[in-house]
Amino acid sequence: MKTLREHIKNAEERKKGIGHFNTANIEGIWAIFNAALAVSEEAGEQIPVVIGTSEGERKHFGAKQMVDLVKGLRREYQYPIFINADHSYSVETATDAINVGYDMVIIDLAEKSYEENLAATKAVVEHRDAVSSQALIEAELGFIGGGSNIKEEIPEGVSEATMTNPEEAKQFVAETGLDLLAPAVGNIHGMIKAGNPELHPDRITAVREQGGIPLVLHGGSGVSDADFVKAIQAGISMIHVSTELRKIYREALEKTLAENDTISPYKYVKPAQKAMQQKVAERIRLFWGL
């Protein structure tokens, strides 16, 4: 079976995007996995998918337990499903994720100084190499805002001036040795009620060319379909979606609880799981160009 690195290389060469979807519960895992299986059957090929778990999501579910579950699905179904330790805000939490077997780990010190971000990223890469892990290491560069929530307006500080500088990206990659870069190119974590700003494909292309490594788009919730397509064509190889799925799951769950008096969890979470699965399938189709 191909490694995640190989799948990312294949996606980039074919101008396709790998879907990265966050969850903190078993219903979310099955929603994401079943969506990937269904779309893969339609497409006639296995489409890779990544399950993301933030620090909070890892604490809720259990980091090692989540790794074991996802890798168990990969072995049982011989399917390219991978797991990422999303947004690790310290070297310690990032290295802990490497140690329990995550396929991919993000060290996120983008809101710190460039020097702090660089030093932490380099330390995580060095730890990965020291323990002979195959985990891909990703870092953020530029300002994307924080929090997978629904915001009233665009966060202060998000502007063209705080986007990732291509030359800085080149230096950052060279000095850290990381595998993937999450740039700021007009994207914002979470969703904006009034609508997210447009992405900047030209900046994506410039960062990809100068950085020399695959790019990951964070803040996929709220981005228009047209912008997704442009971003993938410009050089994005993986796209994160979280807030959108949380919103869909909660709304479906609230509706079921309001209309049904069952006390069996597996019954009242099922509609929420199906609603989430439907949205994940839509996103996979779009990202893969189907």
The closest alpha carbon to 247, from 284, 220, 267, belongs to 220
Residue 62 makes CB contacts below 8 A (sequence gap 6+) with none
How many other CB atoms sit within 10 Å of the CB of residue 201? 19
Give Cβ neighbours of residue 48 (< 8 Å, ≥ 6 apart).
4, 7, 11, 18, 80, 81, 82
Q: Residues 215, 155, 108, 175: is their CA dihedral positive or negative? A: positive
Assess whether 68 carries a catalytic annotation.
Answer: no
**CA distance to 38, 46, 95, per residue, from 278 (Å):** 10, 18, 34
Measured CA to CA, the distance from residue 209 to residue 76 in angstroms comes to: 38
- Of 68, 86, 96, 179, the catalytic one is 86
| Residues designated catalytic | 86
